[in-house]
Amino acid sequence: MPTRSSAPSPDPSRGSPPLTPTADTTACDIFCAVIDNFGDIGVCWRLARQLAHEHGWQVRLFVDDLHAFQRLCPSLVIDAPRQHVDGIVVEHWHEPAHAGDTLQIADVVIEAFGCELPNVYVAAMARRERAPAWFNLEYLSGEDWVADFHLRQSPHPRYALTKTFFFPGLGPGTGGVLKERDLDAARAAFESSADARAAWWHDATGVAPPAPDATVVSLFAYENPAVDSLLEQWRHAASPVVLLVPEGRISGALGRFFELPAHASGVSFAAGTRAQRGNLTACSLAFTEQSRYDALLWASDVNFVRGEDSFVRAQWAARPFVWQIYPQADDAHLPKLDAALAHYAASLPDDARTALARFWHAWNGVGTPDWADFMRHRTTLERRAATWATELASLGDLAGNLALFAKTQLK
């Protein structure tokens, strides 16, 4: 019978009563170390909510950086060691050895992106009457080798425990990517409602939606020297370009382009700023919490995204997009970029595939982006974005695939 087993904490005075799942509930612990930016916690938070809301699991999420987490989930209390948020138990993982105020071992244990579980937790897993299903959730990659390593198992060197490597991916034989069951319906409702779109524009920017001849571009990016060239191209574009920029690491470049003075916060293109040069109008948005980010993608014609979480959401938005992959030393990220392109652009005509690859490479430091060349293939890229979303969905979603496999391990 799936349940969360308890053992005395090394410091029982700090304990809280163990959770008591029902007989048919699967208990799951997810451990997340926030390495940089928001990708790690972004993926873990989506996974936690999906397992809880769609699969009825009792989920506890250990996170070592609550400040980064709060940017995505404003209702989170930064100084609370343990709290309930959206049906999830969130614990501040404040030291490597920390395993909760009361040591509780779940049926399913997920260590995200190679973070190491506390030794006391692993030892308690081994003492459990029935060993948990233990997963190492890896980073998303479109590379061919992913399918060969997905679901490979690794026995622990000391304990009678086995870890399964779970790889997200863009092709058959992988774990797929995260997608909520109601996501397509939510996007369709937004796209079909002029009132919903107008309300979003007013709430996000303070103005009405732009004229139909404008191209709306969302720009969520790391610092990028290529942005200076793009801003000039948008300024001189043949038709209006409306740029939506969540406040963040790219904001300084926008402030310099528009020659704006620094805001009191030190950011020269702070949230709420609106600026125009030539045919380019740019709006700085407040950093978008995770639950509201999809609407930004749906409101835009072309989406610039970065890292992993927004990369996945852009694919479900079924709009042309440009991916800035997380940069690595010695350009180790470029083969991963090409692997994603190989999946996404496979069915495009040669000229459109070449233009898309050239633009993606330029946005990732190889060459200069050519917006006019990219937009010549806009209609073709829009069609491909829609068909790709359907193809990707055929893999099943990551949370569902993981939950299904975990059940086979818990029998």
Q: Residue 125 and residue 130: Cα distance in Å, rounded?
A: 9
The whole-angstrom separation of Cα 362 and Cα 358 is: 6
Pair of tokens at residue 389: 């979303």
Sheet holding 133-137, edge to edge: 82-85, 88-92, 58-63, 27-32, 108-112, 133-137, 162-166, 153-155
Rounded Cα distance, 81 and 315, in Å: 35
Do 151 and 398 meet the contact criterion of CB atoms below 8 Å apart?
no
Residues known to be catalytic: 40, 308
Dihedral Cα 229, 234, 235, 236, nearest 10 deg: 100
160-180 per-residue burial string, b: 16 or more CB within 10 A, e: under 16: ebebbbbbbbbbeebbbbbbb
Q: Which two tokens stand for residue 130?
A: 């029935």
What the block records as the tokens of 144 is 């061919």
Q: In sequence order, what are the beta bridge partners of 177?
A: 397
Distance CA 167, CA 144 (A): 12
Q: At 272, list the tokens.
A: 């709420």
Residue 79 Cα distances to 66, 68, 93, angstroms: 8, 13, 12
